[in-house]
């Protein structure tokens, strides 16, 4: 049973991948939290005070102390609420998980933005680059982390599952908007199956906004790249 004694508040924005990641992590850990919806175009005084460095969502406040940046928040959540663990016990495997989470941040997310804003051949090239990164991850995970699934973390979703799993709907959204295939089951079966399993997990199912709904709310983000960014 999660420790209910800490006051936990999450400042976020709807249809924002980074906010979704944090909500998923909290739900997976069974943490009770209050959610505050921020208007991206009109940020509250509270938010600006809590995150003066980046001035954006998500921000998690635990017992009055704010933490910003989604990946930092995810690690903090795992640090404070130990059960179920989102990282392996072995330090070497932990380093591998952190490496791939960082890889998603360094390589995968930026290319997702690029795919959406380009057209024609350039878009196809970006889509191929994305697929290449996914394949690199797939091979790394298979070799270094996979223990039979259904999640990268094993029986229960972990840090990498939260990051990739909550991005799946965005991947499908971009596929629909750009008319390109980004995640192919035959090329990256472990990633695809673990992302799908994540989307089906009882604790986070309702947080997974279907791509059609994202399409309605975001339209074609070809002109802007805020689809998955903190803003």
Partner 1 sequence: MAPPSSDLKLLGSWASSYTHRVQLALRLKGLDFEYAEEDLAEKSPSLLLHNPVYEKVPVLLHRGRPVLESVIILHYLDETWPEVPLMPADPYDRALARFWCHFVDDKLGPAVGAVFASPSDGQAAAVEQVHENLRLVERELREGAFAGRRRFFGGDKIGVLDIVLGCGSYWLAVFEEVMEVKLVDPESFPLFHSWLRDFEEQEEVKAIIPAIDRLLDYARGVRQMMLGLSTRQQ
Q: Which residues would be at the binding site for partner 1 (CB under 8 A)?
A: 52-53, 62, 65, 67-69, 71-73, 75-76, 79-80, 91-92, 94-95, 98-99, 102-103, 136, 140
Task: Give the three-state DSSP class for 174.
Answer: helix
Sheet of 8-12, strand order: 34-37, 8-12, 59-62, 65-68
**Residue with smaller CB distance to partner 1, 68 or 126:** 68
**Residue 68 or 116 having the CB closest to partner 1:** 68
Q: Which is nearer to partner 1, 47 or 178 (CB)?
A: 47
Measured from the CB atom, the residue of 80 and 118 that comes closer to partner 1 is 80
Q: How far is the CB of 171 from partner 1 (least distance, A)?
A: 20
The distance of closest approach from Cβ of residue 43 to partner 1 in the complex, given in angstroms and rounded to an integer, is: 17
Name the pairing type of β-strands 8-12 and 34-37. Answer: parallel
Minimum CB separation of residue 119 from partner 1 in Å reads 27
CB of 206: closest distance to partner 1 in angstroms? 27
Report the number of secondary-structure helices (H) and strands (E) in the chain: 9, 4
Phi, psi angle pair for 54, to nearest 5° = -110, -20
131 close to 187: Cβ distance less than 8 angstroms: yes
Structure tokens given for 153: 């973390």
Q: 100 in helix, strand or coil?
A: helix
**Closest CB 110 distance from partner 1, rounded Å:** 12
Query: Which residue lies nearer to partner 1 by CB, 91 or 148?
Result: 91
Q: Cβ of residue 210: shortest distance to partner 1, in angstroms? A: 32
User: How far, in Å, are 40, 60, 116, 209, 215 from residue 76 at the CA level?
Assistant: 24, 10, 31, 25, 32
Chain centre distance of CA 86: 14
Nearer to partner 1, 93 or 218 (CB): 93
Cβ pair 142, 194 in contact under 8 A: no
């Amino acid at each position: 049973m999660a420790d209910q004694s800490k006051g936990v508040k999450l400042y976020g924005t709807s249809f924002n991948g980074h906010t979704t990641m944090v909500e998923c992590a909290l739900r997976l850990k069974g943490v009770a939290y209050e959610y505050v919806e921020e208007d991206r175009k009109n940020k509250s005084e509270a938010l600006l005070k809590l995150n003066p460095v980046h001035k954006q969502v998500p921000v998690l406040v635990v017992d009055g102390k704010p933490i910003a940046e989604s990946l930092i928040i995810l690690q903090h959540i795992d640090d404070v609420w130990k059960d179920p663990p989102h990282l392996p016990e072995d330090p070497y495997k932990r380093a591998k998980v952190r490496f791939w989470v960082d890889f998603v941040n360094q390589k995968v997310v930026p290319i997702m933005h690029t795919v959406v804003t380009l057209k024609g051949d350039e878009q196809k090239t970006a889509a191929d680059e994305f697929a290449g990164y996914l394949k690199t991850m797939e091979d790394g995970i298979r070799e270094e982390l996979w223990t039979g699934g259904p999640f990268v973390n094993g029986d229960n979703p972990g840090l990498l599952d939260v990051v990739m799993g909550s991005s799946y709907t965005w991947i499908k959204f971009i596929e629909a908007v750009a008319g390109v295939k980004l995640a192919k089951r035959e090329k990256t079966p472990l990633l695809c199956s673990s992302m799908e399993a994540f989307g089906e997990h009882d604790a986070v199912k309702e947080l997974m906004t279907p791509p059609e709904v994202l399409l309605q709310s975001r339209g074609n983000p070809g002109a802007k790249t805020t689809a998955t960014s903190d803003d």
